[in-house]
Chain A
Amino acid sequence: MYPSEYRYTKEHEWVHLEGTTATVGITDYAQHELGDVVYVDLPKVGSALTAGKSLGTVESVKAVSEIYAPISGEVTEINATLSASPELINSDPHGKGWLVKVKAAAGSDAKGLMDSAAYQAYIAEQGKEASA
C-alpha cells in the first residue's frame, strides 16, 4: 500500500525522489480522511516550493486541506488530468493521482522524512488517538 521507495510527511504527503526529480502526492490515509476529492488547486509550473510550506489545496465537498511541500525546489510539471478527474486522487493516490513534479533544490532531500514502515506506524497511532 505505501511504496517503500516513497518518503512520507507528518501532514500525509508522499514524495518519490529519483535523482533530483521528485514526484509529490497525498497519501491514501489523507484521501480517505478527506473523502471524495472534488477539486485540486495546484501551483503554476515554474513556482518555487519551500519544504514545509503550502503548495496548494485539495478539496472535498465539506473540507479544504492544505498540501505542504515535502521538499524545496521548482515545479516542473503539474498533473493536468486532475482538473477533469480529481477522483484519481481517491482511486490511485500513490500513482495516477500524483500532484506535481519538482526539480529538487540543491541540498534538499527526503532524508528527514518517514519511510514506509515509520509512516504506517504513525498513521496507526493517529487512528488510535482518533477513537480514544
Chain B
Amino acid sequence: MTDRIKKARRQVNQNEGLIFEKSAPGKRGMELPPLDVPAVDARAVLGAENLRDGVEGLPEVSEIEVIRHFTRLSTWNYAIDLGMYPLGSCTMKYNPRVNEFVARLDGIATEHPYQPQELAQGCLKILATLRDCLLEITGMDAGTLQPAAGAQGELTGLLLIRAYLASRGNPRKKVLIPDSAHGTNPATVTIAGYEVENIKSDARGQLDIEGLKKEVTDDVAALMVTNPSTLGTFEPRIAEAAEILHSRGALLYMDGANMNALAGVARPGDFGVDVMHLNLHKTFSTPHGGGGPGAGPVMVKKHLEPFLPTPVLTERDGRPYLDANRPQSIGRVRAFVGNFGVLVRALAYTLAYGAGIKQATEDAVVNANYIRKQLEDVYDLPYDSPSMHEVVFSDAKQKKFGVNTMDIAKRLIDYGFHPYTTAFPLIVPGALMIEPTESESKEECDLFVDAMRSIAEEAATEPETVKTAPHSTRVGRLDEVGAARKPILRWKPMAAVEPTSKSAAAEPARALTTPHK
C-alpha cells in the first residue's frame, strides 16, 4: 500500500478454521447446574420410536475456543464502529450502545409475550410510546409495530390496501412500481396477490406524472413509491401523484427507507401518503447485525385503521391494552407482538434525540451534498436534480478505462472503507449510490472523498490496480460462479468433501474445510 491510502494500513490478522474442526470428544464450553429432580429414562418417557441416538454434528469445544473462534472471525469484518459505510439506501448510522444496554435489562429481555397484560404494562407502554413517536414523525393517524422487517411492512401495507378496497367492493388487480424501486417492492406485490406493473421514470429519474395519469386505471390498487427516491431526490410532484390516485379510488404507498432525509423536516402524511412503512434498522439506528434483525412498522391514515393486523394496541381503563377483537383486521403477519427488542432500541434512539432529530436529518443531508460537491468533477452525475441524504453517481467516466462501479467499490476496500451500493438503482447503469448518514464527521467524509478521488485517478493511470482489487483483504475476489454451479452450503466431515476447483483438489480434502491455511 502506498501513502495515498490514508485511512487504513495492513496488520497481522489471525487465521481461523471452522468451529467443527476444533471439536474433540469430551470438551464442553458451557456447563449446566446439576439436575435437582430425579433423572428419567428418555426411552421410556418418549417411546423408542421418538428417541434420538445422539446429536452428532454439534462441535465439542471449550469456552476459550469459542471466544477465540468468533473473535477472530469478527476481525475479518468491517463495521460502523470502524468507519463509514457509504451504502446508499441503507442508512448505516451509529448504533448507540445504551440501546443495547436497555434492551438487555431484567424485566425487558426476560418478558414472555403470553404474560397477562397487567404484568406487561412496561412493555406495552414502550410500544405505545414508540408508536406515538413514529406517528408524530410521519404525520399519520394509526400504526402497527408487528412487521418483522421492511419487506414485511411492505406486505402488511399492501394487504391493508387490499382489505380497504375489498371493503369497498373491488380489491383491484395491479400495483404500479417505478423502475427505480428496491427489489423487495415487486417481490412483495406478488406475495400480496397483485400483479406488478412497472412504470418508467421520466428523464430526470423522477415520477412521470403524465405517464401516471394514463397508468392509473380502475384495475390499479396503488402506486408504491420511495420518497426521496432511490436517486436521493425528493419527488417534487408527489402530492399531484396522490391526487391522481385518490381521484380514481387508488392509494399511495410510500416505502419509508429514505426517511433519514425527512424526519423533522417533512411528514409523508402531509403530502398525501395513505400508508407507509419505516425501516427501524435504517432511520432509527437499530443495528444491522450482519443482515438483521430489523423491524418494519406500518403507519396509516384513519381510513385504513380498521384493517390493521391484530392485536392492535389501544387503551382500556387508561392503560395500554392489546385488543384482539378486530373483526376487519387482515389478521396476523407474524407471531407475537413484533421484534420487541428492536422496538426498544428504536425508542431509546428517538428519546435520546427528541425534537432534535431534525438536526440528524440536516447533518445527513449536509454530508451527502458535501460529498457530491467534492466528487462531481471526477464522477459522472447522471441526474442533476438536488440530492438529499444520498447521491448517485455513475461509472461512465471510468468505463472508458475499462473500470466499472464494482471495481471502484472493491478498490475502496483497500482504502479502509466498505463499498457504497453498486448497481442500484436499475435506472442508472453502473451506479455508485452513496449515503454517508449524519454519523460521519467531516474528517471521515474528507477521507472518503480523498479515497474516491484517488481511485478515479488510478482508474485513469493504472486501471489494473482497480480492476483486480481488493489487494489487502484475507481473500481476493471469490469465484461466485463456482459457488453457484456447485454449491457447498454446509461443512461435512472429511470423507464427504468434494473439491470446488482444480487447485483445491490438488491439496488434501482437509484443506477445503480449513480456510486460509
Contacts and interface: CB of A to CB of B under 8 A. Distances in A.
Nearest to B406: A62
A57 to B, nearest CB: 14
B484 interface: yes
B481 interface: yes
B380 to A, nearest CB: 15
Contacts of B484: 38-39, 59, 61
B196 to A, nearest CB: 15
Contacts of A86: 485
Interface string B472-496: 0000000011001100000000000
A8 B480 CA distance: 31
Contacts of A38: 481, 484-485
Contacts of A36: 481
A73 to B, nearest CB: 29
Nearest to A90: B481
B187 to A, nearest CB: 13
A68 to B, nearest CB: 19
Interface in A51-70: 59-62
A115 interface: no
A59 B485 CA distance: 10
Contact of A39 (B423, B480, B485): B485
Contacts of B485: 38-39, 86-87
Contacts of B423: 62
A60 B482 CA distance: 11
B480 to A, nearest CB: 5
A126 B480 CA distance: 28
A60 B481 CA distance: 8
Interface string A21-49: 00000000000000010110000000000
Interface string B422-447: 01000000000000000000000000
A61 B484 CA distance: 7
A61 B480 CA distance: 7
B211 to A, nearest CB: 22
Interface string A93-105: 0000000000000
Contacts of A60: 481
Nearest to A35: B481
A87 B479 CA distance: 14
A96 to B, nearest CB: 16
A59 B484 CA distance: 10
A62 B484 CA distance: 10
Interface in B400-424: 423
Contacts of A61: 480-481, 484
A86 B484 CA distance: 11
B190 to A, nearest CB: 15
A98 to B, nearest CB: 19
Point out which of A39, A60, A61 has the most chain B C-beta atoms below 10 A from its C-beta.
A61
Contacts of A59: 484
Nearest to A130: B429
A90 to B, nearest CB: 10
A88 to B, nearest CB: 12
Contacts of B480: 61
A66 B484 CA distance: 18
Contacts of A87: 485
Nearest to B423: A62
A37 to B, nearest CB: 8
A34 to B, nearest CB: 12
A39 B480 CA distance: 13
Nearest to B399: A131
A62 B483 CA distance: 12
Nearest to B485: A38
A37 B481 CA distance: 8
A81 to B, nearest CB: 13
Nearest to B487: A38
A109 B336 CA distance: 59
A66 B480 CA distance: 21
Nearest to A85: B485
A62 B481 CA distance: 10
B407 to A, nearest CB: 15
Interface in B458-482: 480-481
A42 B423 CA distance: 28
A61 B485 CA distance: 9
Contacts of B481: 36, 38, 60-61
B500 to A, nearest CB: 13
Nearest to A61: B480
Contacts of A39: 484-485
A70 B190 CA distance: 28
Nearest to B481: A36
A61 B483 CA distance: 9
A87 B481 CA distance: 10
A87 B484 CA distance: 12
A59 B480 CA distance: 13
B345 to A, nearest CB: 33
A27 B402 CA distance: 25
A39 B482 CA distance: 11
A86 B487 CA distance: 13
14 contacts: A36-B481, A38-B481, A38-B484, A38-B485, A39-B484, A39-B485, A59-B484, A60-B481, A61-B480, A61-B481, A61-B484, A62-B423, A86-B485, A87-B485
Given A39-B485, A61-B481, A86-B485, 7 more contacts: A36-B481, A38-B481, A38-B484, A60-B481, A61-B480, A61-B484, A62-B423
For the complex of A and B, the 10 pairs showing the least CB-CB separation, nearest first, are A38-B484, A36-B481, A61-B480, A38-B485, A61-B484, A61-B481, A38-B481, A86-B485, A39-B484, A39-B485
